[in-house]
A and B are shown apart, each in its own frame.
Chain A
Amino acid sequence: MAVTETSATTVMNNVEAVRATLYEAMKNDDRTVILGEDVGPRGNVFLITKDFIEEFGETRVIDTPIAEASIVGIAVGMAMEGLRPIAEIQFADFIYPAFNQIVGEAAKIRYRSNGEYTCPLVIRTPYGGGVRGALSHSVSIEALFYHVPGLKILAPSFPADMKGLLNAAIDDPDPVLFLEHKKTYRLIKGEVPNGHYTIPIGKANVLQEGTQLSVVSYGLYVHWALEAAKQLANEGMSVEVIDLRSIRPMDKETILKSVEKTRKLLIVHEDNKFGGIGAEISAMVAEEALFHLDAPIRRHCAPDVPAMGYALPLEEEYMSSPERIAQAMRELVAF
């Protein structure tokens, strides 16, 4: 962590960490504008931009029409013309209309113009379930975008990482998709260093060291994996927990180093298994570290169905839990 003027920390939840970081970015650089649905007087549906419009004005805090493709598309044009826009998609589920602007445009502008034009753009969006969000307020979208070179994708889990990585995203000269798990918004609190700092994009974080199993996760399930690892510790088993933080680029070295030590790998994510982030991690480990493994790679992911339902049993069946993750860990340790 590259801390510049930190003398102390403040306890914040993830909403407060994102809000404080956006506030500083608006304060420090008048090229920064925020655009999205209900970011103005409403202050975003999670109150992340609360009171921003009073302080920075409606030319910098832009309530857009309900039109996701052009929220991103207009932000792309702003970025090409020298502003530093932060676009918000109100819920990740609503990002589909903007797919072309992200994949076909933002990710390719530097490349297609041979470096003549660039697209320094941050797209923030709350994702994830466990909040009775039903089919259209709870999806995970990372697998739809992580296939795309030219994009960076971040999914921090802790308030300190939210701040450090959002600062890095804002400073970054290329388009960054910044995913905020909405169930962690108020659930997760933590110490956040004061002052400006960035965390390098592309670095995973070993949250807990262990010797018998490596667990790689991101988002809400990082917290559940930590809980599960505690249960296993009480049972005398030693699990290493890695928070991926950055989905693209991915920290191959940290994963491989851990797997070479523990010789077993469990990938845990909320998104469904087929073609998910876990598929790329397992393929990479199989290619690079197969002969270090003492057990097949396992992926603990959502079932292969279109979405979690609104009814509680449907949501609970779709989502994992610390208990279920603990069980997956036990099985692999025992293999």
Chain B
Amino acid sequence: MTDVGTRPQTLDKRGLSNDQLLAMFRNMLLQRQLDNRGFQLNRQGKVPFALGSEGHEAIQAGAAMAFRRGEDILAPYYRDLGLAVGIGLTPFEILLSLFARAEDHNGGRQFPNHYSSKAAGLMSFSSILAAHIPHAVGAAYAFKYRGETGRAVLATCGDGTTSEGEWHESMNFAAIHNLPFVMLVENNGWAISTPLSKQMAEPEIWKRAAGYGMPGRRFNGLDPIETYAVVNEAMERARSGGGPSLIEGTCYRFLAHSTDDNDMTYRTREMVEEYRKHDPVPAFEALLIDNGIATKERLDAMRKDVLRETNEATDAAEALPYPQPSDLYTHVYEGAWQPWQ
């Protein structure tokens, strides 16, 4: 099992305001709630499929805080619900994706968690792992080519994706051209059922940075503040012409890979219970309360508000229609398309 570090014990705000700390915590609550909602709706038979991101709340809330909406671009993967809401997608948009409604950005075409939003700067991506990394690098090339300093591309992936050839090819190209690109690896130690030890001999992914000729760093992805500090430093370096970085945050995956996976076939209940002792959500909550950033009452109210917002989004999205059968035929090419028949 990967060494994930420990949860934060003392508060070092790393330049963040109390409001920003609370915004990160709210993002973590929202991610957890929306994440669970997907699994609940699946068990209720209302949605065919959901993907979980429990355990990734801190790394995603911290990374989202380092993202500049309107300037930066995010090229995420399918376990990035917290990043998606962290950069501005609404719970309603998340539920539209879960329910595959016509009003969804993707028109109900893609799996849940495969978000796309040009307005938020979130690049469309598929389920094919690492296929999005060259896209992120191409977008970073466009920024540099047009002289758009102050903008950077943040790409994310899990540990398993770093085995793909396109991951390597992209890192190499980004380094050659000194692109405004940050590769954030969310290392939770599992690629569906395959443990890190079967994925790579050297378990510390960040060490590959030296081979590409770029800065690399490993950090505790259970700590949203440390995550923010590391991602922000890398993004600032990218935005100011300092080139790409490879950063690796360690965390856990509490849930099975998806609603279609049974993780008890490859790991034990005790193992998952041990992981849950490092749950970043109560840890960050305790830190905020212990340091007088917020009272327990205020955070409880926040939790209720997140539940209310999730419930409202669920009802609103569920009430909307599916795409029409005729929508199958649109957006194949620009303009009307007469299918070959």
Contact = CB atoms under 8 A, between A and B. Distances in A.
Q: 5 tightest A-B contacts by CB?
A: A77-B138, A73-B134, A114-B107, A77-B135, A70-B169
Nearest to B107: A114
8 contacts: A64-B173, A73-B137, A74-B141, A77-B135, A114-B104, A116-B117, A117-B118, A118-B334
Nearest to B327: A114
A174 B106 contact: no
Interface stretch (A98-106, A135-143, A303-311): A98-106
Contact of A110 (B118, B131, B143, B334): B334
Interface residues of B, number: 42
Nearest to B136: A77
Contacts of B73: 81
A81 B170 contact: no
Contacts of A73: 131, 133-135, 137-138, 166, 169-170
Contacts of A112: 106, 109-110, 114, 116, 124, 126
Nearest to A108: B126
Interface of A: 33, 59-60, 64-65, 67, 69-70, 72-83, 85, 97, 100-101, 104-105, 108-118, 149-150, 152, 173-174, 249-250
A128 to B, nearest CB: 25
Contacts of A105: 126, 128, 131, 135
Interface of B: 73, 104-107, 109-110, 114, 116-118, 123-124, 126, 128, 131, 133-143, 145, 165-166, 169-170, 172-173, 176, 330-334, 339-340
A111 B109 contact: yes
Contacts of A152: 333
Contacts of A77: 123, 134-142
A65 B169 contact: yes
A74 B339 contact: no
A303 B128 CA distance: 35
A149 B134 contact: no
Nearest to A149: B332
B331 A114 contact: yes
Given A69-B165, A101-B131, 8 more contacts: A73-B138, A77-B139, A80-B139, A81-B138, A110-B333, A111-B109, A114-B330, A174-B334
B124 A74 contact: no
A80 to B, nearest CB: 6
Nearest to A174: B333
Contact of A70 (B118, B128, B173): B173
Given A33-B145, A174-B333, A250-B340, A104 B173 contact: no
Contact of B332 (A69, A72, A97, A111): A111
Contacts of A83: 138, 141-142, 145
A317 to B, nearest CB: 34
Nearest to B167: A70
A101 B134 contact: yes
A115 B331 contact: yes
Contact of A80 (B135, B166, B172, B176): B135
A14 B45 CA distance: 59
Contact of B116 (A81, A117, A149): A117
Most B-side CB within 10 Å, residue of A59, A64, A77, A105: A77
Contacts of A109: 124
B116 A116 contact: yes
Contact of A113 (B105, B131, B141, B339): B105
Contact of B138 (A79, A113, A118, A173): A79
A226 to B, nearest CB: 28
A82 B142 contact: yes
B109 A69 contact: no
A279 to B, nearest CB: 13
A108 B166 CA distance: 18
Most A-side CB within 10 Å, residue of B73, B128, B138: B138
A335 B91 CA distance: 69
Nearest to A115: B331
A97 B165 contact: yes
A78 B137 CA distance: 8
A70 B137 contact: yes
Contacts of B138: 73-81, 83, 85
Contacts of A85: 138
Nearest to B105: A116
Nearest to A65: B172
A110 B145 contact: no
A70 B166 contact: yes
A113 B117 CA distance: 8
Contacts of A74: 134-135, 137-138, 141, 170, 173
A82 B170 CA distance: 19
A104 B135 contact: no
A97 B123 CA distance: 23
A104 B128 contact: yes
A114 B131 contact: no
A64 to B, nearest CB: 7
B142 A67 contact: no
A247 to B, nearest CB: 12
Contacts of B106: 112-114, 116
A57 B104 CA distance: 42
A78 B124 contact: no
Contacts of B118: 116-117
Nearest to A116: B118
A65 B170 CA distance: 10
B52 to A, nearest CB: 22
Most A-side CB within 10 Å, residue of B107, B331, B333: B333
Nearest to B144: A59
Contacts of B135: 73-74, 76-77, 80, 105
A36 B104 CA distance: 36
